[in-house]
Structure 1
Amino acid sequence: MPARQPASSTPASQVAGTAAFSKFMHLMQLVADTPEPMTVPELSKISGYPRPTVYRTVAALVAERLLAEHPRSGKLTLGPRLIQLASRSWGRSELRLAAVEELKRLRDLTGETVHLAVPNGQHMVYIEKLESPSAVRMSSRIGTNVSMHSTSVGKIYLAMLDEAALHAALDALPQPFSLQTPNTVKDSAALRKQLEQVRRRGWSVDDEENEEGICCFGAAIFGEAGKPIAAISVSTLRFRQKPDPEQAYVTPLLEACRAITRRIAETPALSGADML
């Protein structure tokens, strides 16, 4: 009798239920990514799925508490079960555990909001966020996907890739680039010029490129064979940015990334890139 093929080696197109599962995931992602909660008809329109399909899928997701539907408005939000699962996932992230003390120290030294992000396909995703003690807070959330080309965490990650990996990553980015603000870099050629400078100095800047009024400074965490596996940013509001941002933000940021990189190198379980 031939050996049973491991499930992980079976092409996704041959796995029973893949199409239905993909619809579930696509609809949940749309609910998560849309700034304002949507109704089922709105979700059907933005997803491109027929309304009966969306009604059935949403009903199943609500029954499993993966989505929640407001009883009067019909607006959809992520459900408590999904949030529970996500919270446990982030809480157990080995990378987060390796970084959390340095992140706290960095937040306290700078007095600003600190994010930890990892690559997620063509984006970076925040897996930890420590808020500034200031009364004015950032709107970002753990689990948020952000663009590679317009954020400090994305640009530092790209800049620290080897040339072959960088070429592949830039080719994979959606073209043309989405322009988040008037300062957003417009194409791959302009981004490459930025990345050359970032690579030379070892840190990146998002100068109101992802969100107006917010400036971020990014540095990379390295894993096995010196490959970038994550990035940290320090985010400040333009009106309260300190006169010497390199001294105030970048120096402690680089120290934090070096400390986390050392810890990863000294801990065999953390030496690979897959630490989520």
Structure 2
Amino acid sequence: QHIKDCGFDMLTLANNHCMDRGEEGLFNTIQTCKEKGFDVIGAYESAEERQKIFIKEIDGIKIAFLNYTYGTNAFAHGTFLENSYMVNLIQPEETKKGSIHLLNEYAQIREDVERIYSGENDEYLAVKPYLEQLERNIMLAREQSDFVIMLLHCGGQYIQEVDPYSIFITEKIRQFGADMVIGNHQHIIQSCDLTDGYLKVFCLGNFMYDHRVVCDGYYFDSPSYNAVLHLDLTKDETGKVEAEKSFSIYTTAFGDNGLPMAMDSADVFRIKNETYIKNQILSSANLFAGKQCYKEVEERYKL
């Protein structure tokens, strides 16, 4: 409800955690989000619902939104989809033939991409139906709208360099007819690419918490800021849509009420109140603790 009250209208549910509580949990999540008044994409209650392209008309411009994920963490919880229509996937679930494991090393991911997509081998035949479904949906979206945006859940976590699979699949999405792809899953800001009007944003970072965290014994010394993408669409008398794109940079800080809030980076530098000073001290302490923790892990396990 708080997310709705903040002004969000749509939620993307195709992500690697959507099956953490199985299909029943996902079904309940979809229903709860709808009951709160959200438009929901990426996960569906029925096969019929999945066939419909979500299109939002804003000021006379029809915008199609699509949402896909690389996987559902099936390798971790062992729960695989029985009803394939429930989640939009760009490849088979983890551990199945044809899937790319994003926890692998960069070189291994690149080798897997080259091997799987080099020809009509068994692995490619396993992933081919997913690519065909992806292409069909983008083509339908293209036919029914003025502008197509893909919201993609893909990429290695806490890695600043874009992985080869993300580069490959975002290029496929361009070839299939999308106008823009906005990625997430990495938790930190990654690069973007603008070629012939097609914008690939691999990750905007997190929306509401610091990336410099200790997770499973690891400390991620990544930039403590995020980005917001602004998209201004205009349509001329011929029906051609022009897209003006810009970004703003922001970070998370504690307000006077002690609660975290997203703030423009320029505003953060202007704040001199006691709460912010305490926040900076706490942040510095967390950074020191994180580095010490990671140092001990390195020594213990000889990383």
Tell me which of the two structures has the higher relative contact order, counting C-alpha pairs closer than 8 angstroms and 6 or more residues apart: 1
* Alignment TM-score, normalising by the size of structure 2: 0.26
Higher helix share: 1
TM-score, normalised with respect to structure 1: 0.27
